[in-house]
Amino acid sequence: MLFAYILTVILSPILITASELPKEGLLVFPELFHSRAEGGINVLRLTYSITLKLQKSSVLKSQFLVRTYTDGIPMHTYMTGADLEEDLFHDPDSMASVSINTNDGVTVEGVVGPKLRVEPLLTQERDSHGRIPHRLFHIEGDLTKDDNDYSVPENKVKEIQVSDSENETMNISERSSDKIYPELFVVVDSLFARSFSSTRKIIKYVSIMVNAINLRYLSVTSPKVKHVLVGLEVTTPERETFLRRLRLDPRYIHSQGSLASFYNYTLGNPKLYKKFDIIDLLTAHDMATIKQGQINNGNAGYAYIRTACTDLKVGIGEDKPKTFLGVHVMAHEIGHVLGCLHDGERSPWENEGVPGSEECPFRQGFLMSYIRKNSNTYKFSECCVRQIREKARSRSGACLHKKNVENKSVKKYNYLPGEKVDRTAQCRNAFPTARDALYMENYGVKDCRIRCAITTGGGVSDVKTLNLCDGTPCKDGKRYVCINGICMKKKRKYDNEAVPPSIFS
């Protein structure tokens, strides 16, 4: 009886639209069902007219890099991606990307449609059935209203030199069934991070964003595109010299100036940024440009075009934390980095055979325009698809075909990195810019943390606290190990990909 009821709900249309929601949102009590009739999928009912058929999502790299700073020194923590995204789901038909927790009732957070988001109200009482109250919100209008949001590099990045081994990748990329995996590293500024109580919650939020972006890229074919979030960095105000404020009004950061400065910043720190395919800076600051002496804040993103895999692989975009308003901006700016012009524009590389977008009118309202009128808003035009295809098949796009680029020999292992990497090696891996780092044995292991004695480039010595790698023994030794910072009983086997020690070298 339950399964028949679920099917009836699934087939009913979504009757509530974003424009019909009250400004303060709609109170809802989500319910989660497991339907055998639907192939064992999870069915999430938000209201009688809004139901999602959820599929398990995967956007994080198996060993996920988290970079934070302690006294100005970058610290690397590697976390197990499969554990971090255990609660991540999507519904491609509804363009939904959500995180669901069922530990003590059902809590849902994320995007439940192109213009709807949901968040739990944990401080309010449950209903008579024990369901946790949530609020369904309208995702407000676009941050971006200005099409001046990308730069063509001076050398136009037509081709770069690649090795013979990369030429093999180019032969593979000619196949129409190919799939590319742009490895995305996201940097969040300190103002953005301030809205979250922990780094783990930032990871969760950005994971939902990237998951939602991948749904928009389902319209790209030959090759298909799936972005992989390989790491996240939380900056500090002291390091944010790349955020260039407008002299006319310091409340705004200058779009082009901040992008150029961020590029120079990443270029000057190759140990920290060189290995990623695309780097996206997520900011909570209001971006603006100057037009005819006047401030124009209609611009919410800026990127270099067709620069993935090169030193200029950077983009910057606004987001209002916890609103998912920046999903569209990030998808759009990454589109530029992958080679997409705005619809209707000529190609700067037309003499070299790189296609333009003249055949796709701006007024059709696809994702690479700023007209919002129908479902085209959440898809790429055929012109953009051709441009991504050309970039992916060019020699300068070879890195997009590589998965687990740091280590090509990743296999299924029955152990985790902490079982094979000693604590001094973990100290050295965690502080990549330090001259040396040593494990302080006298402190021992406390709450999956150790202390490292580090020596900086200037010869200064200091002591830093480090979260241990997954699999490092804790408590009584062999029976308990650290998993994402928690000391728990060791499993006999790990189904997710545990990365061998060489990835930390």
Each residue of 369-412: pLDDT tens digit?
A: 888 778 888 999 999 999 999 999 999 999 999 864 453 333 44
Give the separation between CA 371 and CA 366, rounded to whole angstroms: 7
**Mean of pLDDT over the chain:** 83
**For position 164, what pLDDT does the model report?**
39
Q: Is the peptide bond before 223 cis (omega within 30 degrees of 0)?
A: yes
Residues 80-126 have pLDDT tens digits of 899 899 999 999 999 999 999 999 999 999 999 888 999 999 999 99
Model confidence at 297, in pLDDT bands (50, 70, 90)?
confident
Q: How far apart are CA 71 and CA 23, in angstroms?
A: 43
Percent of the chain with pLDDT over 90: 53
* Contacts with 489 (C-beta within 8 Å, 6 or more apart), sequence order: 479, 480
Residue 365 DSSP symbol: -
Q: Is the pLDDT of residue 429 over 80?
A: yes
| Cα–Cα dist 76/426, whole Å | 9
At 179-202, the pLDDT tens digits run 999 999 999 999 999 999 999 999
Average pLDDT of span 470-478: 79
From CA 98, how far away is CA 119, in angstroms rounded? 10
Alpha carbon distance 77, 89 (integer Å): 25
Residues 6+ apart with CB under 8 A from 447: 487
pLDDT of the residue at 200: 93
Q: Residue 466's closest CA among 434, 502, 489?
A: 434
Least confident of 95-104, 286-295, 341-350: 286-295
**In this model, does residue 204 exceed pLDDT 80?**
yes
Q: Any idea where the domains of the chain sit in the sequence?
A: 2-56+87-138, 150-401, 417-504
The C-alpha atoms of residue 323 and residue 462 are separated, in whole angstroms, by: 39
Which of 153, 208, 217, 157 has its CA nearest to residue 186?
208
Q: Which range has the worst mean pLDDT, 273-282, 314-323, 456-465?
A: 456-465
Would you call 382 exposed, middle or buried from its count of C-beta atoms within 10 A (0-12, 13-18, 19+)?
middle
Q: Is 336 annotated as a binding residue?
A: yes
Residue with more model confidence, 419 or 366? 366
Mean pLDDT confidence for 260-275 = 95
User: For residue 168, what pLDDT is reported?
Assistant: 43
Catalytic residue status for 109: no
pLDDT in tens, 55-87: 999 999 988 999 999 888 899 988 889 989 999
Domain 150-401 has CATH 3.30.428.10: no
Domain spanning 417-504 has what CATH number? 3.40.1620
The pLDDT value recorded for residue 410 is: 35
**Residues for the chain: how many in total?**
505
Is the confidence at residue 9, as pLDDT, over 50?
A: no
Q: What is the dihedral of CA 399, 401, 407, 412, to 10 degrees?
A: 160
State residue 35's pLDDT score.
67
Q: Does residue 162 carry a pLDDT above 50?
A: no
Domains 150-401 and 417-504 share a fold: no
pLDDT band per the 50, 70, 90 thresholds, residue 458: low
- The predicted pLDDT at position 155 comes to 56
Catalytic residue among 333, 350, 419, 441: 333
- CA dist 112 → 88, 105, 224 (Å): 13, 19, 23
pLDDT at 18: 54
CA distance readout (Å), 335 to 331, 368, 398: 6, 8, 17
What pLDDT, on a 0 to 100 scale, did the predictor assign at position 352? 86
136 pLDDT higher than 80: yes
Q: Which pLDDT score is estimated for 376?
A: 87
- The sign of the torsion formed by the CA atoms of 88, 331, 398, 394 equals positive
DSSP state of 469: P
pLDDT digits (tens, 9 = 90+) for 215-253: 999 999 999 999 999 999 999 999 999 999 998 899 999
Amino acid 166: pLDDT: 46
Give the pLDDT of residue 414.
Answer: 52
Averaged pLDDT for residues 168-185: 67
pLDDT at 278 over 90: yes
Give mean pLDDT, residues 415-436: 83
Alpha-carbon gap, residue 411 to 499, rounded angstroms: 8
Q: Is 332 annotated as a binding residue?
A: yes
129 is in an annotated binding site: no
The average pLDDT across 349-363 equals 90
> pLDDT-derived band of residue 137, with 50, 70 and 90 as boundaries?
very high
